């Protein structure tokens, strides 16, 4: 599978620049369409030291890779300005706009509309035609002010884009005396661009709201007392004071206090999470009613929130397959449509003696209809809305390609420990084989295990800590490990053994009923630890990793979504694997696996032509995650390794977010397909009408820009809903 970095490198044509390049994101005011970016890209290509430039129309940004020794960000911004657009050098803070930059398009459109309305009134009243013509000229010039500027910049750089086509059509209409048509077309086009910009801003604001989650300042306690500091000045180790209702500025660990923290922006959890001593907190979370003292573990630039924003921005540069196809299609579509318009103007008059003015007008209408704006924004707006919605729910996609792929996958491989199970073994049963009470046996076992770091030892110590009778554990002496079997030590003056059945005379020390009890719990997927004296077990402790409740719900939902294969991969013994799988809707279990065995199974499925998702914790499963079509990482919040390992990151430990992500991917695909079909269908219908002389300039403008507004609005439906469940309900279980 091609990784995001490999895909970016494959798309790059800047030679050796990228290996040494700096990378900067520029906010470009008014860049809403691929044809508007043409003059910008042409201007940047002429600058020495500039490598790849990737526009994102959904959030009006331009990501530029450049050699800092050859060119500065200020020079890049200047080149963008020379192409007719305003660029903000700082990708985090927008420069102040002048009054005209903020309201100029609205003013020009309003003047054009008022002039056109006045002409209509005078026309119906039969007022002097000279005044009426002046009003039409004012409506045309006002509505076409921005069109003419952008068209001129495009022509300077040898580009043919929608403003050039619209400007040509308006001038042509004036030359053949169709002044009302020119005025109507320019007003409608200017109005549509204004509405389109406002609609696009709504989608952009959804991304920019992520930036607002981080506070600008925080209270920090240092040696000289408490002080308010800018968040970017908080250093690792600083103690941050979080008052009720404040947002967490950096990732950290609670040192003092208790509170409930709403960390939905990071993990997507809908219920506030209790935080006490030692609990992790994430930047962007909202503190509840308690006061917390938090030790900063990372600077603000490396927090979970900063990585989320970075990944969302990077994801827009990783172009989805449908987006790449549309861009390639548009590259040939526009020249073909211009050639068709020219043929429509020239061929009928020359070969068939038709009136030139008639076919010139029809050719101009074709030029208007040829604008591919609705087509080229149909995919990127959908992708960025989907990525933003997912990030808001605690699901991060590293690129639009993974959003599309996850919607198509029907085969899922799951790591067991930490993914389907909690990854924290628990004592589930204690049984005495003699007169010694179970509580006493657990106390003795915990005393022996107090010197061990084994995960099973932790489970026994936790269970003993919950048991009143087991408090005040005695200190063991003469503790000795028995390799492969267990431990031996002296507790309360007696020598005790703790371990597996082979520790007790190779298992022959167990009676029939005792052996049956051990085998019963092993069949249930538990690890059985015996405690006793030399050659004679006194009792048993059964320890088991429990299945996550949300795993049951998540896998059941995937099954309802039509997923055909759910496979569990584990390094545990087959009996444990089967016991865990029996509690879940799992089709196949592969047990006793080494990491390389998991990779081999994933690669085998991919080699058979199946799209495969591997779901794991992102640490031990990194090779298998990289081998799958899509690697999904669980519990990635605060974990650098986990975020880097997969293509999709579930920031929380809730596996129910996976069906949400699948539904979102499928819904995004449906919206993209509808947008593309609608845009192409509208073009086809109006091309036929224009060729037959049944469409006018204003109708062409209304059709083209109406289609653009519709695909934007349709894409923005992906942002609707407050949580993942809204999408689950809205789309229904069978709408694939």
Known catalytic residues are: 415
| Sole residue written with tokens 């295990």 | 449
Pull the structure tokens for residue 149: 């500027």
Strand blocks (E) in 130-224: 217-222
Q: Of the candidates 309, 331, 282, 391, which has an alpha carbon nearest to the alpha carbon of residue 92? A: 309
What CA–CA distance (Å, rounded) separates 115 from 143?
A: 10
Radius of gyration of the chain from its Cα atoms, rounded to whole angstroms: 33
Pull the structure tokens for residue 377: 């924004």
- H or E element at residue 255: strand 252-256
Contact by Cβ (8 Å): 385, 718: yes
Contact by Cβ (8 Å): 690, 365: yes
Give whole-number Cα distances, 479 to 461, 476, 500, 501, 734, in Å: 16, 7, 17, 19, 60
What CA–CA distance (Å, rounded) separates 285 from 305?
A: 9
Contact by Cβ (8 Å): 394, 651: yes
Pull the structure tokens for residue 642: 């986990």
Pull the structure tokens for residue 555: 């896998």
What CA–CA distance (Å, rounded) separates 239 from 252?
A: 9
Please count the other Cβ atoms lying within 10 Å of the Cβ belonging to residue 224. Answer: 6
- H or E element at residue 343: helix 321-352
What CA–CA distance (Å, rounded) separates 42 from 22?
A: 20
Q: Exposed, middle or buried by CB within 10 Å (0-12, 13-18, 19+), for 324?
A: middle
* Separation of CA 152 from chain center: 38
Contact by Cβ (8 Å): 300, 250: yes
Q: Is 244 helix (H, G, I), strand (E, B) or coil?
A: coil
Which residues sit opposite 495 in a β-bridge?
490
């Amino acid at each position: 599978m091609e990784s995001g970095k490999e895909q970016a490198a494959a798309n790059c044509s800047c030679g050796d620049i990228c290996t040494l390049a700096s990378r900067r994101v520029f906010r470009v005011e008014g860049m809403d369409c691929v044809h508007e970016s043409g003059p910008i890209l042409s201007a940047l290509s002429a600058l020495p030291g500039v490598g790849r430039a990737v526009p994102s129309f959904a959030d009006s940004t331009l990501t530029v890779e450049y050699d800092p020794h050859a060119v500065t960000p200020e020079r890049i911004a200047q080149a963008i300005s020379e192409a007719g657009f305003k660029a903000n050098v700082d990708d985090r803070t927008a420069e102040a706009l002048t009054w005209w930059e903020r309201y100029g398009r609205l003013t020009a459109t309003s003047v054009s509309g008022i002039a056109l309305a006045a002409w209509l009134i005078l026309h119906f009243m039969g007022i002097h035609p000279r005044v009426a013509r002046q009003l039409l000229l004012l409506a045309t010039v006002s509505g076409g002010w921005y069109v003419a500027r952008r068209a001129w910049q495009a022509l300077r750089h040898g580009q043919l884009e929608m403003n050039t086509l619209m400007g040509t059509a308006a001038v042509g209409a004036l030359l053949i005396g169709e002044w009302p048509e020119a005025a109507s077309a320019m007003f409608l086009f200017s109005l549509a661009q204004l509405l389109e910009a406002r609609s696009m801003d709504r989608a952009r604001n959804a991304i920019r709201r992520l930036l607002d989650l981080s506070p600008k300042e925080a209270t920090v306690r240092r040696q000289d007392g408490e002080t308010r500091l800018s968040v970017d000045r908080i250093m690792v180790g600083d103690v941050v004071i979080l008052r009720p209702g404040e947002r967490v500025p950096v990732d950290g660990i609670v040192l003092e206090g208790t509170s409930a923290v709403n960390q939905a922006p990071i993990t997507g959890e809908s219920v506030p999470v209790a935080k006490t001593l030692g609990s992790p907190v994430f930047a962007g979370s909202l503190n509840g009613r308690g006061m917390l003292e938090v030790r900063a573990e990372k600077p603000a630039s490396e927090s979970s929130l900063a990585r989320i924003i970075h990944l969302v921005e990077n994801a827009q540069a990783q172009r989805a397959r449908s987006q790449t196809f549309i861009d390639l299609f548009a590259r040939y579509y526009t020249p073909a449509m211009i050639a068709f318009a020219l043929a429509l103007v020239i061929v009928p008059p020359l070969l068939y003696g038709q009136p030139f003015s008639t076919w010139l007008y029809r050719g101009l209408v074709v030029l208007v209809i040829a604008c591919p704006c609705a087509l080229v924004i149909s995919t990127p707006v959908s992708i960025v809305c989907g990525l933003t919605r997912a990030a808001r729910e605690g699901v991060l996609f590293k690129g639009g390609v993974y959003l599309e792929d996850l919607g198509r996958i029907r085969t899922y491989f799951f790591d067991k420990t930490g993914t389907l199970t909690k990854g924290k073994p628990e004592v589930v049963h204690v049984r005495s084989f003699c007169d010694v009470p179970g509580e006493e046996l657990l106390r003795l076992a915990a005393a022996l295990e107090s010197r061990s770091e084994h995960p099973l030892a932790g489970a026994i110590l936790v269970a003993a800590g919950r048991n009143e009778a087991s408090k005040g554990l005695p200190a063991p002496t003469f503790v000795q490990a028995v390799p492969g079997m267990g431990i031996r030590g002296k507790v309360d003056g007696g020598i005790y053994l703790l371990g597996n059945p082979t520790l007790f005379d190779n298992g022959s020390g167990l009676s029939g009923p005792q052996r049956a009890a051990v085998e019963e719990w092993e069949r249930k997927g538990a690890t059985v630890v015996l405690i006793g004296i030399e050659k004679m077990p006194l009792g048993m402790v059964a320890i088991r990793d429990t299945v996550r409740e949300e795993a049951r719900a998540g896998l059941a939902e995937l099954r309802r979504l039509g997923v055909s294969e759910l496979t569990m991969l584990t390094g545990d013994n087959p009996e444990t694997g089967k016991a865990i799988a029996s509690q879940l809707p799992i089709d196949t279990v592969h047990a006793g696996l080494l990491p390389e065995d998991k990779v081999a199974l994933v690669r085998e499925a991919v080699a058979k032509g199946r799209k495969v998702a591997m779901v794991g914790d992102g640490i031990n499963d990194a090779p298998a995650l990289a081998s799958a079509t899509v690697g999904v990482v669980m519990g990635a919040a605060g974990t650098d390794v986990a975020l880097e390992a997969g293509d999709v990151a579930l920031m929380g430990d809730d596996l129910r977010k996976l069906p949400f992500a699948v539904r979102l991917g499928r819904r995004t695909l449906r919206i993209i397909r509808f947008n593309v079909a609608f845009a192409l269908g509208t073009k086809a219908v109006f091309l036929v009408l224009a060729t037959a002389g049944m469409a006018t300039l204003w109708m062409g403008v209304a059709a083209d820009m109406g289609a653009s507004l519709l695909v934007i609005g349709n894409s923005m439906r992906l942002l609707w809903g407050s949580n993942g469940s809204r999408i689950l309900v809205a789309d229904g279980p069978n709408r694939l």
